[in-house]
Amino acid sequence: AFERQPRVYAVLIQVQGSADPHAREAYREFAQRQSGAFASVLDSSRLSEDKRRDVIAVMNAVLDQNLRTWQLGLQPADAVATAIDRAADLLLGC
């Protein structure tokens, strides 16, 4: 979705740095949805709840870092997907 609408991630970066309460709430909602997407993939796994939370935190960090470098023009969009796949493989032993 970010590839189709690259400005959305640029706005998200600005929202992350804002102290405005409305911006913080918007970011919190976005972050919950993003974590929910990762969590839904892990629902059928045998991982403990603690391990799931750790995997989700790492995957969120990998996604955020790679989207930032893509947004800056330092890597192509397909590199973001590759980084997510590689992180999942490392974390889940795929």
Q: What is the pLDDT of residues 39-88, one digit of tens each?
A: 999 988 899 999 999 999 999 999 999 999 999 999 999 999 999 999 99
Reported confidence tier of residue 94, pLDDT bands at 50, 70, 90: low
Q: pTM of this prediction?
A: 0.85
Element (H, E) at 57: helix 49-71
Residue 15: pLDDT over 70: yes
Distance CA 55, CA 87 (A): 9
Alpha carbon of residue 32 to chain centroid: 10
Q: What pLDDT is recorded for position 68? A: 92
- Secondary structure letter of residue 72 according to DSSP: T
Concatenate the DSSP letters of all residues of 26-56 into one string: HHHHHHHHHHHHHHHHHTTS---HHHHHHHH
Reported confidence tier of residue 5, pLDDT bands at 50, 70, 90: confident
